[in-house]
């Protein structure tokens, strides 16, 4: 009688890998960099007057971070600005003296040739826009406000 040895983990090897939802994988800027294969400790060199750098550096860095985060969350999707039926979602924020700075709502643009955010910071779904606006609110605050 012939015997065969079967490894105990054979069943696990044949199971297809279930990919986590993008919002479960991307919780930080570093997660977005990892998703895209970028180094999160990369540097950006600016040729500007020191006063301009001091005033705008946080906003420039925040824009770069949010662009990378949006790219990772959109999983390869790029907005088609020629397609007026395709919604392009982006988070909207409210800033006032009483409540401070906070996420307000996600809105979209698909029919209008102009936009308030630009294609680097829009999302393919309302859910992703809501997630980004809430999860990365501190980075959005750095982009949209000057201290």
For the chain (147 residues), the mean pLDDT of every run of 10, in chain order, is: 43 63 94 87 65 83 94 95 90 78 70 57 95 95 88
Q: Which of 126, 143, 119, 122 lies closest to 65, judged by CA?
A: 143
- Asked if residues 113 and 143 have their Cβ atoms less than 8 Å apart, the reply is no
Q: Three-class SS string for the chain? A: CCCCCCCCCHHHHHCCCCCCCHHHHCCCHHHHHHHHCCCCCCCCCCCCCHHHHHHHHHHHHHHHHHHHHHHHHCCCCCCCCCCCCCCEEEEEEEEECCCEEEEEEEEEECCCCCCCCCHHHCECCHHHHHHHHHHCHHHHHHHHCCC
pLDDT at res. 8: 40
Return the number of other C-beta atoms located less than 10 Å from residue 58's C-beta. Answer: 16
Residue 146: is it exposed, middle or buried by C-beta count within 10 angstroms (0-12/13-18/19+)? exposed
Per-residue confidence (pLDDT) for residue 118, from 0 to 100: 64
CB 129 within 8 A of CB 106: yes
Note the pLDDT of residue 124: 95
Domain ranges of the chain: 22-144
Contact of 91 with 106, CB cutoff 8 Å: yes
Q: What is the pLDDT of residue 119?
A: 73
């Amino acid at each position: 009688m012939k015997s065969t040895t079967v490894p105990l983990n054979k069943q696990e090897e044949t199971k297809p890998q279930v990919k986590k939802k993008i919002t479960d994988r991307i919780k930080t800027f570093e997660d977005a960099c990892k998703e895209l294969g970028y180094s999160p400790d990369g540097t950006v060199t600016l040729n500007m007057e020191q006063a301009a750098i001091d005033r705008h550096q946080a906003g420039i860095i925040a824009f770069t971070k949010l662009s990378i985060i949006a790219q990772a969350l959109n999983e390869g999707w790029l907005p088609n600005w020629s397609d007026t039926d395709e919604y392009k979602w982006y988070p909207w924020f409210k800033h006032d003296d009483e409540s401070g700075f906070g996420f307000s709502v996600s809105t979209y643009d698909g029919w209008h040739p102009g936009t308030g955010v630009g294609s680097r910071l829009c999302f393919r779904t309302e859910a992703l826009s809501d997630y980004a606006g809430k999860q990365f609110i501190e980075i959005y605050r750095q982009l949209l406000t000057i201290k």
